[in-house]
Amino acid sequence: MSRVGRVERSTKETSVLVEIDLDGSGKVDVSTGVGFYDHMLDQLGRHGLFDLTVKTEGDLHIDSHHTIEDTALALGAAFKQALGDKVGIYRFGNCTVPLDESLAQVTVDLSGRPYLVHTEPEKMAPMIGEYDTTMTRHILESFVAQAQIALHVHVPYGRNAHHIVECQFKALARALRYASERDPRAAGILPSTKGAL
């Protein structure tokens, strides 16, 4: 049974297409028009071992906000769709990833309930190319709201903005991979005592 999600989202501000295959091999084809964001989505697919296609055309003449946010919303929705009934998955995942001087700790529960806890260094360069670094939290909020997962992301220390953001996406990718992978001991079992996820 394939675990794929496909979401198309069109507004006056953006048009987004996201396709994700949770059981992929990290094949990524991403274009949002925001170079650094493409680089982050590339990390997500590569380190999550998801096959990921993202095509976003947004109102970049205003700024990159709508383009980044709407892509994250569609990505969250596609991820949820791909998870399907969640039978036989690990459900929980965590990963800690260093990138030189920066460290990201990510823990996820594919719980069906949206909740984000996020901390990162307050002092950071405001922009990485066209990417506004305050958007990282906004991306995570948007993804969580649509994917309906509990996500805790912490960067206890870090100095370089590129590193601080990138280690978060790498750790997120791995944590999502571990949580969404099939547990060979749990075939046919829904990982919840409540009987619903």
Residues at the interface with Mn ion (CB under 5 A): 69
What are the residue ranges of helices labelled H in the chain? Answer: 35-48, 65-83, 135-147, 161-180
Report the distance separating Cα 8 and Cα 78, nearest Å: 9
Our CB check for Mn ion shows the closer of 18 and 97 to be 18
To Mn ion, the closest distance from the beta carbon of 69 in angstroms equals 5
**Least distance from Mn ion to the Cβ atom of residue 135, Å:** 8
Nearer to Mn ion, 12 or 194 (CB): 12
Residue nearest to Mn ion (CB): 69
Least gap, CB of 15 to Mn ion (angstroms): 17
Q: Closer CB to Mn ion, residue 19 or residue 69? A: 69
Phi, psi values for residue 75, rounded to 5°: -65, -45
Sheet holding 28-31, edge to edge: 4-10, 14-21, 51-58, 28-31
Q: Which residues contact 5 (CB under 8 A, 6 or more apart)?
A: 18, 19, 20, 77, 78, 79, 80, 81, 82, 83
Based on CB atoms, which residue is closest to Mn ion, 38 or 69?
A: 69
- Our CB check for Mn ion shows the closer of 69 and 109 to be 69
